[in-house]
């Protein structure tokens, strides 16, 4: 059994992102995610990328989730975020690349389809 989730959009690309805007879908070589707000969800997006908290990354790895790899991404907060939440410190985040194939892996597609392992995460 699979279910789909819709990640939160809490920001977007920062100035240091390296991408190919002519590619379809957009190709992101080096992610720079800049927070503008955050509702404390563990999975976030800015098309076509996802970032996850350290907590969720570890839970996926512990559950032996397939179809996903984790990578570095530069993460920071916008000026507005820092003005609204001057003492708030973000937890560690990681870029999550979903590479899974439909019907074979726990995580697949840009819509994020999660398999049975998701119940334990």
Q: Which residues pair with residue 4 across a beta bridge? A: 113
Q: What is the C-alpha radius of gyration for the chain, rounded to an integer number of angstroms?
A: 15
- What's the pLDDT tens digit per position in 29-83? 999 999 999 999 999 999 899 999 999 999 999 988 888 999 999 999 999 999 9
Average the pLDDT over each of 3-12, 30-39, 96-105, 111-120 and give the range with the smallest value: 111-120
DSSP category for residue 47: T
pTM: 0.86
Predicted pLDDT of residue 25 = 83
């Amino acid at each position: 059994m699979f279910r789909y989730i819709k990640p939160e959009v809490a920001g977007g690309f920062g100035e240091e992102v390296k991408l190919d805007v002519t590619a379809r879908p957009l190709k992101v070589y080096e992610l720079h995610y800049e927070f503008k707000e955050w509702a404390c969800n563990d999975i976030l997006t800015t098309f076509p990328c996802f970032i996850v908290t350290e907590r969720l990354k570890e839970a996926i790895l512990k559950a032996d989730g397939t179809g996903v790899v984790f990578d570095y991404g530069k993460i920071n907060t916008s000026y507005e975020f820092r003005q609204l939440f001057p003492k708030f410190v973000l937890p560690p985040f990681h870029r999550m690349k979903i590479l899974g194939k439909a019907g074979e892996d726990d995580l697949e597609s840009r819509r994020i389809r999660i398999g049975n392992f998701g119940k334990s995460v």
